[in-house]
Amino acid sequence: MNDHLIYMDYPATTPCDERVFDKMAPYFCELYGNPHSWHSMGWASMHAVEVANKQIADYLCVDPSDVIFTSGATESNVLALRGMIPPKSPKESHLITTAIEHPSILEGCRQLHPQVITTILPVSNEGIVDLDELSRSITDDTYLVSVIAVNNETGVIQPLEQIGAICKERGVHFHTDATQALGKIPIELEKWNVSLASFSAHKVYGPKGVGAIYVRKGTPLRPLQVGGGQQRGIRGGTIPVPLCVGSGEACRILADEGASEFARISELSERLVTGLMLSIPYAQVNGGTSSKVPHIVNMGFPYVEGESIMMGLGSDVCVSTGSACSSDRLTPSHVLQAMHVNEYFLQSSIRFGIGRFTTVADIDHVICRVAAEVQRLRDMSPLWEMFNNGVDMNKIKWERRSSLRRDRPAA
């Protein structure tokens, strides 16, 4: 790998913090007992799991028994959607979500049809859910409202307290995919009136393959994965001790260092946006005036293709055009489409992720590289030439001129 490679795809995944890795290491080859075994090795492993569980719960300000380990946020999301379906006539079940959810939610809802009728709420041009539409959409058959806390493509923060208040007033359970919220905004599950919340460790410098779901006491969640009754019977199977230990340590580090990290990333984010806006004519921040986390910056550079920018930067800068869970598709971002982003920005948008190991030098290098790459592509773009010649671009239909699959370098 290039020694000077700059990683700016933190929303897709984060590197495992060395402190997290060191904490996990003994539980692979030394303290390897099954945490459900009744002997000293098993008890030692279970104690490690309990410590990790408490570290996560303390960070979330909840009871440790309300935190259930899963394989990641996708499993947690699907568990929330399916496990909350009431045991009654299937056609009477109704679910509400939004048009900007993670693919695991939207695809999960699609697969529930026709057992469950799903209402997909629109969002504003800034990416915020319509609260009046939410209130109107709740019926006597609504069993769950699921709204992402922080969008994984734009960083826009939803009005979670207001959503929770509506759900409480109407007697409906509220689930939030808080994957991108962890470590980026204060997690206030009680204040938000959340019944269920999904998390993933690899978004906060922990290991891949492990996550959690918060299940408030009294929430009628039925298990999808049965086994020996582990974890309150909600999620059967042997608990992966090293991964749980890593998750707990990642949350401990967030608790100790999160505030200072947020301040530093905020400064880097402002530097990135300012630099790109000054260097690239007509650049735009998608969801610009919304309340957002600084860790995710989504910008459009019209009259070139976002995928072409990304591939041009690929030798020394890692960025993306959207969710890693749908990056193999050549269709435009469903999130930006839901926000009614203009076609020329929709097709040219790049997501930048700023994280724990991003430096000022990284930001400055990325600004220069992106500005140069956009200019190089615009110099070859007939759309840019038409725009500069005063053509009314609203009358010109965008046509894809390249294939990401074709242009992708060989492995």
304 Cβ contact partners less than 8 Å away, ≥ 6 residues apart: 348, 374, 377, 378, 381, 383, 384
**Residue 411 domain-assigned?**
no
What average pLDDT score do residues 235-258 get? 96
Whether residue 83 is found in the same domain as residue 145: yes
Q: Comparing 389 with 241, which gets the higher pLDDT?
A: 241
Whether residue 226 is found in the same domain as residue 325: no
- The number of domains in the chain is 2
Domain closes at, from 254, 289, 320: 254
Whether residue 82 is found in the same domain as residue 218: yes
249-273 tens-digit pLDDT: 999 999 999 999 999 999 999 999 9
Whether residue 250 is found in the same domain as residue 315: no
266 Cβ contact partners less than 8 Å away, ≥ 6 residues apart: 294
CATH code for the domain of 76? 3.40.640.10
97-150 tens-digit pLDDT: 999 999 999 999 999 998 899 999 999 999 999 999 999 999 999 999 999 999
**Residue 306 domain-assigned?**
yes
Whether residue 290 is found in the same domain as residue 326: yes
Instruction: Indicate the pairing of strand 296-300 with strand 349-353.
Output: antiparallel
Domain closes at, from 254, 284, 312: 254
Whether residue 369 is found in the same domain as residue 383: yes
**Residue 1 domain-assigned?**
no
22 Cβ contact partners less than 8 Å away, ≥ 6 residues apart: none
Per cent of the chain over pLDDT 90 is 82
Whether residue 246 is found in the same domain as residue 263: no
Taking the CA atoms of residue 38, residue 42, residue 43 and residue 48 in that order, the dihedral angle to the nearest 10 degrees is: -150
Q: Would you give the end-to-end CA distance of the chain in angstroms?
A: 12
Whether residue 217 is found in the same domain as residue 266: no
The reported pLDDT for the residue numbered 320 is 93
pLDDT at 318 over 50: yes
120-131 tens-digit pLDDT: 999 999 999 999
**Residue 384 domain-assigned?**
yes
The reported pLDDT for the residue numbered 409 is 39
The reported pLDDT for the residue numbered 90 is 54
**Residue 410 domain-assigned?**
no
**Of 211, 175, 212, which Cα lies nearest the Cα of 83?**
175
**Residue 25 domain-assigned?**
yes
What average pLDDT score do residues 331-336 get? 90
Q: Which of 61, 251, 318, 325 is catalytic?
A: 325
Whether residue 291 is found in the same domain as residue 234: no
| C-alpha span between 274 and 269 (Å, rounded) | 9
89 burial (CB, 10 Å; 0-12 / 13-18 / 19+) is exposed
The reported pLDDT for the residue numbered 325 is 56
Whether residue 64 is found in the same domain as residue 28: yes
**Residue 143 domain-assigned?**
yes
Partnered with residue 298 across adjacent β-strands are 351
**Of 86, 83, 138, 77, which Cα lies nearest the Cα of 107?**
77
Domain closes at, from 254, 276, 291: 254
Q: Which two tokens stand for residue 213?
A: 């779901």
pLDDT at 405 over 70: no
| C-alpha span between 34 and 225 (Å, rounded) | 19
**Residue 409 domain-assigned?**
no
Give the model's confidence band at 332: pLDDT under 50 very low, under 70 low, under 90 confident, else very high. Answer: confident
The reported pLDDT for the residue numbered 371 is 98
Give the model's confidence band at 89: pLDDT under 50 very low, under 70 low, under 90 confident, else very high. Answer: low
Whether residue 302 is found in the same domain as residue 365: yes
Give the model's confidence band at 169: pLDDT under 50 very low, under 70 low, under 90 confident, else very high. Answer: very high
The reported pLDDT for the residue numbered 403 is 36
Give the model's confidence band at 390: pLDDT under 50 very low, under 70 low, under 90 confident, else very high. Answer: confident
Which residue in this structure is represented by tokens 């800034």? 126
Helix (H) or strand (E) holding 198: strand 196-200
Q: Comparing 265 with 327, which gets the higher pLDDT?
A: 265
Catalytic residue flag (residue 61): no
| C-alpha span between 285 and 293 (Å, rounded) | 13
298-317 tens-digit pLDDT: 999 999 999 999 999 988 99
- Per the structure, the complete domain to which residue 349 belongs is given by 6-12+259-404
Whether residue 291 is found in the same domain as residue 250: no
Mean pLDDT of the chain: 92
CATH code for the domain of 268? 3.90.1150.10
